[in-house]
């Protein structure tokens, strides 16, 4: 009886029965994974007698199990791949979520997934589905897999970038689509690590402008859209020598917006109580803040954008669309003096990291130095142009 089997699985009775100690109490905690239990779950997943609900329950067991290792995963992977091919989009979604959970930060698992026959076509077919959840988790899985150059190259043979951009072109920027748009930006940013993919994106001004437009989107609480878009744009502008003039001009328009975002970060970072703890509602999204810093750093490598940032280095940019109230120099200085750059700062109340990584702090420092140098060069150039000794002497009439 499927319902009885599902209850036995979810209560942990079978897991405890197959455990080496024969009956360890695991109620209220993650279930232990053993080779015997992994083999049992794999057989149940592959069985044509198992119902959809039972297979979903098994996927949950795999995702939440303790003591996962590559040995267990080798046993489980073929059965998870089997339901990835299932005609039920619901089951495909759970299979994809299972792969997402198992592959996060696990290079051996990613390699094992990419060795499965037909995995590229399976994931890209799921990506083209009209089911939002399946599309979303397929993109999350691709984000995990595309961190490796070898995996990117293999997926690109099946036109991954074009498929992702096709999905992007069919999406509208409404709150219900934000999580998909965020993952589209994440995968696109990963693919931009390869020069050929970057060139392909830079050939399409409409695609670049759509990413820039997403920076204006009003985010729902907890959304990662703006942070992921910052990452994608940072990757797209990472090689100034490849950027056509029309796209460089488009990038120049977002500089005040990014400075404004960093000004909000500085305001939130300075909002602390007498003990130095952040005030309620003033927590900083570290990923968004770091991606904003890295984006400005990438933009400053472009001669045109670098000159624009240097010109506005000591005063707020002249713009009619919600301009920053501080100069870029002041914003960077405030962030560097804030709790975000403290050494040995304790984690937040939720246990999350509360300060920038060392690499981000180094990027902040290098960005400020680069802008100071560009500002001095720009000032020297203006002084040379206005120096009377440099002007040609004209004879009186």
User: How close are the terminal C-alpha atoms of the chain, in Å?
Assistant: 109
pLDDT value at residue 271: 85
pLDDT value at residue 396: 57
pLDDT value at residue 22: 47
Positions of the chain with pLDDT lower than 70, given as ranges: 20-32, 66-70, 221-222, 276, 312-325, 344-351, 387-397
pLDDT value at residue 24: 45
pLDDT value at residue 323: 56
Q: What is the pTM of this model?
A: 0.85
pLDDT value at residue 29: 44
Residue 290 CB partners (closer than 8 Å, separation 6+): 356, 357, 360
Residue 344 CB partners (closer than 8 Å, separation 6+): none
pLDDT value at residue 239: 92
Residue 246 CB partners (closer than 8 Å, separation 6+): 205
């Amino acid at each position: 009886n499927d319902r009885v089997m599902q209850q036995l699985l979810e209560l942990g009775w079978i897991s405890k029965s197959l455990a080496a100690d024969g009956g360890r109490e695991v109620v209220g905690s993650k279930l232990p994974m053993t080779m015997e239990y992994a083999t049992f779950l794999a057989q149940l997943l592959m069985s044509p007698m198992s119902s959809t609900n039972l297979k979903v329950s098994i996927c949950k067991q795999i995702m939440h199990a303790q003591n996962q290792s590559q040995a267990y995963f080798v046993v489980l992977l073929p059965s998870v791949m089997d339901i990835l091919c299932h005609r039920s989009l619901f089951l495909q979604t759970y299979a994809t979520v299972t792969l997402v959970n198992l592959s996060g930060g696990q290079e051996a698992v990613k390699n094992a997934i990419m060795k499965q026959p037909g995995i590229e076509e399976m994931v890209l077919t799921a990506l083209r589905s009209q089911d939002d959840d399946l599309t979303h988790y397929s993109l999350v899985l691709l984000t995990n897999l595309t961190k490796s150059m070898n995996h990117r190259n293999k997926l690109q043979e099946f036109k991954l970038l074009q498929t992702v951009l096709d999905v992007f072109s069919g999406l509208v920027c409404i709150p219900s689509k934000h999580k998909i748009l965020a993952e589209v930006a994440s995968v696109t940013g990963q693919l931009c690590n390869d020069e050929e993919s970057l060139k392909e994106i830079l050939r399409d001004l409409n695609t670049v402008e759509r990413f820039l437009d997403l920076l204006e989107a009003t985010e729902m609480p907890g959304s990662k859209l703006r942070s992921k878009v910052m990452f994608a744009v940072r990757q797209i502008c990472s090689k100034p020598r490849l950027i056509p003039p029309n796209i460089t001009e488009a990038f120049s328009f977002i500089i005040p917006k990014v400075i404004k975002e960093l000004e909000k970060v500085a305001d939130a970072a300075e909002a602390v109580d007498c003990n130095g703890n952040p005030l309620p509602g003033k927590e900083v999204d570290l990923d968004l803040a770091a991606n904003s810093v890295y984006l400005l750093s990438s933009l400053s490598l472009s001669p045109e954008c670098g000159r624009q940032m240097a010109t506005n280095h000591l005063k707020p940019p002249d713009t009619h669309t919600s301009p920053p109230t501080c100069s870029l120099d002041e914003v960077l200085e405030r962030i560097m003096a804030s709790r975000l750059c403290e050494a040995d700062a304790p984690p937040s109340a939720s246990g999350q990291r509360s300060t920038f990584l060392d690499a981000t702090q180094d990027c902040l420092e290098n960005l400020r130095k680069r802008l100071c140098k560009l500002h001095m060069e720009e000032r020297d150039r203006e002084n040379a142009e206005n120096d009377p000794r440099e002007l040609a002497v004209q004879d009186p009439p």
